[in-house]
Structure 1
């Protein structure tokens, strides 16, 4: 049944795109100067600075992943707009407070809090997944995903030069102000007409064991985890790997930055296009093809002889992976009863955060003990196994 508030979905999509870009941009803005700020807060010694930077960085992912299913369930009960308003206001306050902390414990505590309070982009994904017409769901989700990827790409670039102009603490305050603007826009322009109290949701809510497409849902949750794991697995080794490819030592960090940006740029370009294609050809079919293509593209990355070859291959891999998150959300949207969409998408977000957490750990362990090329080959095997699993589930779920 088409819901009343679907008539606002295009306007809501524009607001969610801008809000997702703004919040992700503001959150990733701090990544380049986070170790410098840790040092400014009194941490001394290279090893301690690196360790505390890692703790502060990962703290947000841990709490955000744990709380995501709770916010998804509350969104089903009280409406998705309220979750976006809560997330943007909470993030604006906690990020601004990061600019006035006096010790490392306060910073880590606020990073934990921003994970608990945040989740704007995941909330926007749930809102659009529910509101967009089913036949255009993956395209619309691809637009939101493009906003997230663009924020991930532009944030660190701006974070590299902004502290030099206005100072680190002022940069946090500017980031908080940007998120506050997203809060104002969300509060003012997003329209959602939630069906009268909880009865509608209760009628369509079933237990996990009663879900009609349980195997498909489990496959989608694991696919989201695999995608993030594949994206993040080379993060710990990328600068060291580039050093083996580039003869000029002064160019290593620059080329490493290009390598990191290439995959994000590819995903920005392909997300909405692949989503549109998936709406026509089938979401699980596109997921299978994308995983297989990305898995195969990882193999030559292990044997490149120059930095530009790696940049080109990472860009192509980004093109392949760009439509996966929108397709995963669309499959869940189509297979889950109305009253459980937010809850299951919340679990999907939690699985993706788990992939972001596991990926760097796996890459660091494999790269340190076996070799850097083995990281690419191991990630390739994981993605190809994921493609085979999706193909099997796709064939089982398609009526003969």
Structure 2
């Protein structure tokens, strides 16, 4: 459990650094001289390139984690991301920012490597609890980051925030190096050499050969796409409900934080439920509950209605990712787990690309409230399907879960 707690704290630190910087990238673009008419376009470009490159690289880093060690991959990612943050603080125009964001996508890989180590550091029957603790660290970072970034930026300016983040990443890398123990994976030398000889195509063939893994990757994609459909438009939706954009960013940040705090409280409850009743049952209930609450949020009953429901969104949505990760753990051999988690990261990164694009189309064509309506219907339908196929249907396939 020492590995679990140390990696969870490091993940919280990385999440804080990410969320205290990313919301301010449009402001940074303005500081770099980008005109107000072009800042939206450039924001989309510098956001998307990170997800694109990270999605391409994730299976490669995951495969290297399996063949060369998870710990060294986590350290590599933390050091390279720290360097990228520092370089981002030195850029002088939007093209240089584009390049550093692409480099950040290339450097990514801490989360799948850390998640794999967490899953391997405890007995399989305790994987849900361990991954729930890890997810709590991620959520805590998401809650603290935006407000901390705003305060630091107000005190010392935008560029120094990047330097501070870089130093934090270097410290996290040192903590992993000195205090995290590489989990033992029972593999013969022949199996290890064979793993090194396989190609990425062979790795994808492993996933496609098991229906459950293919399904899990699609669920990672859908879940992350849904999250990124909602986050970019939240401030605008809040502004529409209150009738003015004045203070909308701060109010939407508070609403997100309240939902995040509710998630911190309930994450381990979902993990415990998954361990006792089945991870796919937890996924189904969490997806369906999130979908129903989002449907209610699409109703224009005011800001208090929306904010109260966001607490329920936070309570339900946090049950999805740790249960998905635990299901991956149960359905993969330890020797290939790093690359499968890498592929799940690819699915998530591509979801991050598709979600905002779809949300912008829906907002432009039929209206912003319909983003919540469509996302709610999507998650509820997927949740019901998961229950029918992987909870009821598992009785016919008892060895698959």
Question: Quick check: TM above 0.5?
Answer: yes
Q: Structure 1 stretch 353-362 or stretch 79-88: which is displaced more?
A: 353-362
Corresponding position of 2:296: 300
CA displacement at 1:237 relative to structure 2: 2.7
Asked if 1:126 is matched to 2:116, the reply is: yes
Structure 1 segments unaligned to the other structure (5+ residues): 1-9
Q: C-alpha separation between the residues in 2 aligned to 1:342 and 1:393?
A: 26
Corresponding position of 2:150: 160
Q: C-alpha separation between the residues in 1 aligned to 2:74 and 2:379?
A: 32
Of 21, 30, 37, 1:30 maps to 21
Q: C-alpha separation between the residues in 2 aligned to 1:358 and 1:72?
A: 22
Alpha-carbon contact 1:236-1:364 (below 8 Å) kept: no
Corresponding position of 2:51: 61
Asked if 1:385 is matched to 2:381, the reply is: yes
The verdict on how the C-alpha distance between 1:48 and 1:235 changes in structure 2, with shifts beyond 3 A counting, is: same
The verdict on how the C-alpha distance between 1:68 and 1:217 changes in structure 2, with shifts beyond 3 A counting, is: same
Asked if 1:103 is matched to 2:93, the reply is: yes
1:108-157 Cα deviation digits (max 9, x unpaired): 11111111112222321121122221111011111111111221221111
Q: C-alpha separation between the residues in 2 aligned to 1:209 and 1:92?
A: 34
Alpha-carbon contact 2:262-2:314 (below 8 Å) kept: yes
RMSD: 2.2
1:54-103 Cα deviation digits (max 9, x unpaired): 22222222211211111111111111101111011111111112112222
Alpha-carbon contact 1:59-1:115 (below 8 Å) kept: yes
The verdict on how the C-alpha distance between 1:284 and 1:169 changes in structure 2, with shifts beyond 3 A counting, is: same
CA displacement at 1:49 relative to structure 2: 2.1
Structure 2 segments unaligned to the other structure (5+ residues): none
Corresponding position of 2:103: 113
Q: C-alpha separation between the residues in 1 aligned to 2:367 and 2:165?
A: 38
List aligned pairs for 1:120-269, cutoff 5 A.
120-192=110-182, 194=184, 198-201=189-192, 214-247=210-243, 250-269=246-265
Corresponding position of 2:73: 83
Question: TM-score, normalised on structure 2?
Answer: 0.91
1:373-400 Cα deviation digits (max 9, x unpaired): 2211211221122113312331333357
Q: C-alpha separation between the residues in 2 aligned to 1:141 and 1:232?
A: 22
Alpha-carbon contact 1:28-1:152 (below 8 Å) kept: yes
Q: Structure 1 stretch 364-373 or stretch 188-197: which is displaced more?
A: 188-197
Alpha-carbon contact 1:37-1:168 (below 8 Å) kept: yes
Corresponding position of 1:21: 12
CA displacement at 1:11 relative to structure 2: 0.9
The verdict on how the C-alpha distance between 1:368 and 1:210 changes in structure 2, with shifts beyond 3 A counting, is: closer
Corresponding position of 1:4: none
Q: Any idea what SS the aligned residue of 2:231 has?
A: coil
CA displacement at 1:213 relative to structure 2: 7.1
Q: C-alpha separation between the residues in 2 aligned to 1:176 and 1:350?
A: 24
Aligned length: 390
Alpha-carbon contact 1:41-1:102 (below 8 Å) kept: yes
The verdict on how the C-alpha distance between 1:201 and 1:314 changes in structure 2, with shifts beyond 3 A counting, is: farther
1:16-47 Cα deviation digits (max 9, x unpaired): 1111011121122212432232222232x212
Q: C-alpha separation between the residues in 2 aligned to 1:258 and 1:24?
A: 18
Q: Structure 1 stretch 126-135 or stretch 26-35: which is displaced more?
A: 26-35
CA displacement at 1:51 relative to structure 2: 1.9
Q: Structure 1 stretch 76-85 or stretch 259-268: which is displaced more?
A: 259-268
Alpha-carbon contact 1:201-1:338 (below 8 Å) kept: no
Q: C-alpha separation between the residues in 2 aligned to 1:118 and 1:210?
A: 23
Corresponding position of 2:358: 362
Asked if 1:288 is matched to 2:288, the reply is: no
Of 42, 48, 63, 1:52 maps to 42
CA displacement at 1:283 relative to structure 2: 0.5
Q: Any idea what SS the aligned residue of 1:64 has?
A: helix
Alpha-carbon contact 1:215-1:393 (below 8 Å) kept: no
Asked if 1:375 is matched to 2:365, the reply is: no
1:147-186 Cα deviation digits (max 9, x unpaired): 1122122111111121221122211111111111101101
Asked if 1:336 is matched to 2:332, the reply is: yes
1:308-342 Cα deviation digits (max 9, x unpaired): 21112122112111121111111111112222111
